Amino acid sequence: MSQNLNPQNEDRKTGMQVLRELQKEHKESDSGLGKAHVSNRIAMGVLWGATGITIGLLAVILIYVSYHGVGVVLQNFPEFIVGWPQGVNAEGGIAPTIVATLYSTGLAMAIATPIAVLAAVYLAEYAKQGRIVKTIRFAADSLASVPSIVMGLFGLAFFVETMNIPLSMLAASLGLSLLMLPIIMRATEEAIRAVPRYIRWGSYGMGATKWQTVSRVVLPTATPRIITGLILALARAIGETAVVFYTMGIAINMPIIPTDSGRSMSVHLYLMAVEGINLPSAYGTAFLLLLIILILNLSARWISKRYSRIDNS
Amino acid sequence: MSNEELNQNPQNPLDSTVDSAVDPARDANATESMPEAGKESLRTDANPEKKTLTRTPGVTMKELADTAAQREPVPVVRPATKLQLVSRRTQIKEASLASLFFICAFLAVLGVSLIFAFVAWRAFPIVHEIGLWNFLTGTKWSVAEGVFGAVPFIMGSLVVVGGSLIMGVPLAVLTAVFMSEVASPRANAIIRPAVELLAGVPSVVVGFFGVVVVVPLVSQLVGGAGFGPLTAWIVLSIMIMPTITTLSEDALNSIPMGIREASYAMGATKWQTIWKVVIPAARVGIIDATILGMGRAIGETMAVLMVVGNAPQLFAGISAPISTMTSQIVLEMGYSSGTHRTALFGLAAILFLISMSLVLTVRLLSREQHKKRKKVKKGAEA
CA distance to partner chain A, nearest, from residue B315 (Å)? 23
Comparing A44-53, A249-258, B103-112, B254-263, which segment has the lowest mean pLDDT?
A: A249-258
Do residue A153 and residue A278 come from a single domain? yes
A129 → chain B, closest CA residue: B37
Under the banding of pLDDT at 50, 70 and 90, the label for residue A4 is very low
8 Å CB contact of B326 and A149: yes
d(CA A239, CA B239): 13
Percent of chain A with pLDDT over 90: 48
Q: What is the pLDDT of residues B102-149, one digit of tens each?
A: 999 999 899 999 999 999 999 999 888 888 888 988 888 888 888 898
B357 in a structural domain: yes
The answer to the question of residue B358 being in a domain is yes
> What backbone torsions phi and psi does residue B258 show, to the nearest 5 degrees?
-55, -35
Please compute the mean of the pLDDT values over residues B68-94 and round it to a whole number. Answer: 63
**pLDDT value at residue B297:** 92
The CA–CA distances, whole Å, from B129 to A12, A157, B143, B349, B352 equal 58, 19, 14, 16, 21
Contact A243, B276 (CB under 8 A): no
Select from A26, A52, A75 the last residue of a domain.
Answer: A75
Query: How is B75-95 classified by DSSP, letter by letter?
Result: P-----S---SS-HHHHHHHH
From B69-73, B128-132, B356-360, B371-375, the region with the lowest mean pLDDT? B69-73
pLDDT at B381: 65
| pLDDT score at A294 | 92
Residues B55 and B10 in one domain: yes
Q: What CATH number did the domain enclosing B348 receive? A: 1.10.3720.10
Quickly state the pLDDT bin for B75 (edges 50, 70, 90): low
Give the one of A1, A153, A185 whose C-beta lies nearest to B119's C-beta. A153
Of A51, A245, A282, nearest to B175 by CB-CB distance is A51
Last residue of a domain, one of A75, A106, A131: A75
Look at residue A121 and tell me whether its pLDDT is greater than 90.
Answer: yes
The confidence score (pLDDT) of residue A27 equals 61
Contacts of A47 in chain B (CB under 8 A): 174, 177-178, 181-182
Q: Note the pLDDT of residue B380.
A: 66
pLDDT score for A2:
43
Q: Which of A1, A122, A177, A230 to mutate to test the interface with B (most CBs of B within 10 A)?
A: A122
pLDDT band at B334 (very low <50, low <70, confident <90, very high): confident
Residues of chain B with C-beta less than 8 angstroms from the C-beta of A273? 204, 207-208, 211-212, 306
* Domain hosting residue B292, numbered range: 129-381
User: How far is residue B243's CA from residue B234's CA, in Å, rounded to a whole number?
Assistant: 15
What is the reported pLDDT for B40? Answer: 41
| Residue of A50, A240, A289 lying closest to B171 (CB–CB) | A50
Is residue A85 domain-shared with residue A63, that is, in the same domain? no
Please indicate, yes or no, whether residues A62 and A136 belong to a single structural domain of this protein: no
Query: Does B42 have pLDDT greater than 70?
Result: no
Task: Give the residue from A47, A75, A103 where a domain finishes.
Answer: A75
Q: Looking at the domain assignment, is residue B82 inside a domain?
A: no
Q: Chain A residue with minimal CA distance to B171? A: A50
Neighbour count for residue A307 (Cβ, 10 Å): 17
Interval B303-328: pLDDT, tens: 999 998 888 888 888 888 899 999 99
Least confident of A265-279, B69-83, B159-173: B69-83
* Domain membership flag for residue A298: yes
Range from A51-60, A147-156, B218-227 carrying the lowest mean pLDDT: B218-227
Please state the φ and ψ torsions of residue A137, each to the nearest 5 degrees.
Answer: -60, -45
The pLDDT of residue A293 is above 50: yes
Sign, Cα dihedral of A218, A224, A227, A233 = negative
pLDDT for residue A277: 75
Distances (CA, A) of B152 to A29, A114, B188, B344: 53, 43, 43, 13
A30 in a structural domain? no
- Does B339 lie in the same domain as B205? yes
> Which residues in chain B touch residue A19, judged by CB atoms under 8 angstroms apart?
61, 262-263, 266, 268
| Residue B77 forms part of a structural domain | no
Check whether A6 has a pLDDT greater than 90.
no
Task: Give the ipTM.
Answer: 0.84
pLDDT, residue B38, reads 40
**Nearest CA-CA partner of B148 in B341, B354, B348, B349:** B341
Domain count of chain B? 3
Q: What is the pLDDT, as a whole number, of residue A154?
A: 92
**Alpha-carbon distance B203 to nearest alpha carbon in chain A (angstroms):** 7
Q: Is the pLDDT of residue A5 over 50?
A: no
Inter-chain CB proximity A197 and B77 less than 8 Å? yes
A181 and A104 co-located in one domain: yes
Mean pLDDT, residues B16-24: 39
Assess whether pLDDT exceeds 70 at residue B183. yes
Please tell me whether residues B114 and B209 are part of one structural domain. no
In a domain, A292, yes or no: yes
d(CA B239, CA A161): 32
Residues A179 and A249 in one domain: yes
State how far the Cα of B55 lies from the Cα of B189, in Å rounded to an integer: 36
Give yes or no: residues A282 and A170 share one domain: yes
Number of structural domains chain A divides into: 2
Residue A20 within any structural domain of the chain: no
Neighbours of B288 (CB within 10 A): 22
Q: For residue A9, is it within any domain?
A: no
Q: Are residues B243 and B224 in the same domain?
A: yes
Same domain (yes/no): B212, B251: yes
Residue B165 and residue B105 in one domain: no
* Residue-range definition of the domain harbouring residue A85: 81-312
Q: Residues A50, A105: one domain?
A: no
**B159 plus B290 within the same structural domain:** yes
Task: Report whether pLDDT(A238) > 90.
Answer: yes
Beta carbons of B311 and B321 less than 8 angstroms apart: yes
The reported pLDDT for the residue numbered B368 is 83
**pLDDT range class, residue B376, cuts 50, 70, 90:** confident
CA distance B140 to chain A (A): 23
Asked whether residue A19 is domain-assigned, the answer is no
Q: A182 to chain B: which residues are within 8 Å by CB?
A: 108
- For B198, the closest of A1, A51, A57 (CB atoms) is A57
Average pLDDT taken over every residue of chain A: 85
Q: Is the pLDDT of residue B64 over 70?
A: no
Instruction: Give DSSP secondary structure letters for chain A.
Output: -GGGG-GGGTTSPPHHHHHHHHHHHHHHTTTTT-HHHHHHHHHHHHHHHHHHHHHHHHHHHHHHHHHHHHHHHHHTTTHHHHS-EETTTTEE--HHHHHHHHHHHHHHHHHHHHHHHHHHHIIIIIPPSSHHHHHHHHHHHHHHHS-HHHHHHHIIIIIIIIS---SSHHHHHHHHHHHHHHHHHHHHHHHHHTS-HHHHHHHHHTT--HHHHIIIIIHHHHHHHHHHHHHHHHHHHHH--HHHHTTT-SS-----STT-----HHHHHHHHHHH-S-HHHHHHHHHHHHHHHHHHHHHHHHHHHHHHHHHH-
Residues A125 and A240 in one domain: yes
Instruction: Report if residue B76 sits inside a domain.
Output: no
Residue B257 counted as domain residue: yes
* B23 and B118 fall within a common domain: no
Q: What angle do CA A277, A282, A284 make, to 5 degrees?
A: 135
- Could you tell me which residues are beta bridge partners of residue A85? A92
- Cβ <8 Å between A135 and B37: no
Q: Are residues B110 and B200 in the same domain?
A: no
| In-domain check, residue A233 | yes
Q: What is the predicted pLDDT for the residue at B113? A: 93
Same domain for A210 and A102? yes
Cβ distance of B105 and A238 shorter than 8 Å: no
Asked if the structure places residue B83 within a domain, the reply is: no
Domain-embedded: residue B80: no
Q: Are residues A184 and A267 in the same domain?
A: yes
Q: Same domain, yes or no, for B59 and B178?
A: no
CB distance B198 to A54 below 8 Å? yes
Query: Is there a single domain that holds both residue A153 and residue A200?
Result: yes
Nearest to A148 among B90, B102, B301 (CB): B301
Partner-chain contact B329 A153, CB within 8 Å:
yes
Mean pLDDT across the stretch B292-311? 90
- Let me know if residue A248 belongs to a domain: yes
Same domain, residue pair A42 and A175: no
Q: How far is B191 from chain A (nearest CA, A)?
A: 7
Distance of CA B148 to the CA centre of its chain: 32
**What is the mean predicted confidence (pLDDT) over A171-184?**
94
Average pLDDT over residues A101-108: 94
Same domain, B144 and B288: yes
So what's the pLDDT on residue B318? 84
- Residues B133, B116 share a domain: no
